[in-house]
Structure 1
Amino acid sequence: MARKRKKAGAISENKFAIIFVTGVVLSVAIILGVKVNSIKQELAKRESYNQKVIEELESEDERSKKLEEQRKYVQTDSYIIEMAREKLGLVFPDEIAIKAEK
């Protein structure tokens, strides 16, 4: 009889240990699942940010090209002549300036 009680107690302890270990494993699995999900969300945010930065970089590259073209244009004679006519109202000696009345 004493042996049956010891055996029943051992089985009861084994069941408790199995349930405890199962609970711990499930808890760790849940915690890891939550952590993986938060890492995925953070990764998605960073990917979105990286894409935004790449788009801004491309936009600034286009702007830089346009500014370089503008810089080259303002160094030409045609730009100087255009500005002299528009801003200062100057004309070449053999030209006649006609202005519309406002």
Structure 2
Amino acid sequence: MSRGKTRAVTKKNRSGMVLIMVVVSILMVVLLSRCVVLKQRNAAYADEIASLEEQYTEEEGRSKQIESYKAYTKTDSYVEKTAREKFGLVYPDETIFREEK
């Protein structure tokens, strides 16, 4: 009779081990699939970071140009140029030549 009990216990152990192996296998598959998804997201985020860094660099350059233009607008040469172009003003001792149409 003890042999019969041993076989019954062995069958229970085997079925328990098979069940545990199935559960562990399912968990491994789920974890591996999540790992792949996370790697894809990470790559997408890295691309986005590179794009944003490039935009940031461009905006810094644009900001420097604006600051440079702001400083230029405070100079006398800018005032002279604007007066000549927009208002047609000239110095009193200048001679103006115009093209015939």
TM-score, shorter chain, exceeding 0.5: yes
The alignment of Structure 1 onto Structure 2 pairs a total of residues equal to: 101
The reply to whether residue 77 of structure 1 matches residue 76 of structure 2 is: yes
Q: Which amino acid aligns with 2:87?
A: L
- Opposite residue 90 of structure 1, the aligned amino acid is L
Match of 1:91 in 2: 90
Distance in 2 between residues matched to 1:96 and 1:35, nearest whole Å: 80
Structure 1 counterpart of 2:22: 23
TM-score between both structures, scaled by the size of structure 2: 0.88
Q: How does 1:31-46 map to 2 (within 5 A)?
A: 31-46=30-45
Gap regions ≥5 residues in structure 1: none
Cα distance in structure 1, aligned partners of 2:20 and 2:100: 96
User: What residue in structure 2 maps to residue 3 of structure 1?
Assistant: 2
Q: 1:25 to 1:49 in 2, by over 3 A?
A: same
CA RMSD of aligned residues (A): 1.4
Shift of residue 71, structure 1, vs aligned partner: 0.8
Deviates more, 1:24-33 or 1:6-15: 6-15
Name the TM-score, length of structure 1 as normaliser: 0.87
Report the AA paired with residue 30 of structure 1. Answer: V
Deviation at 1:4, TM superposition (A): 2.8
Seq. identity, %: 31
Query: What residue number does 2:52 align with?
Result: 53
CA offsets per residue over residues 53-93 of structure 1, 9 Å max, x none?
21111111000000111111111111111111111111111
Counterpart CA distance in 1 for 2:95 and 2:88 is 11
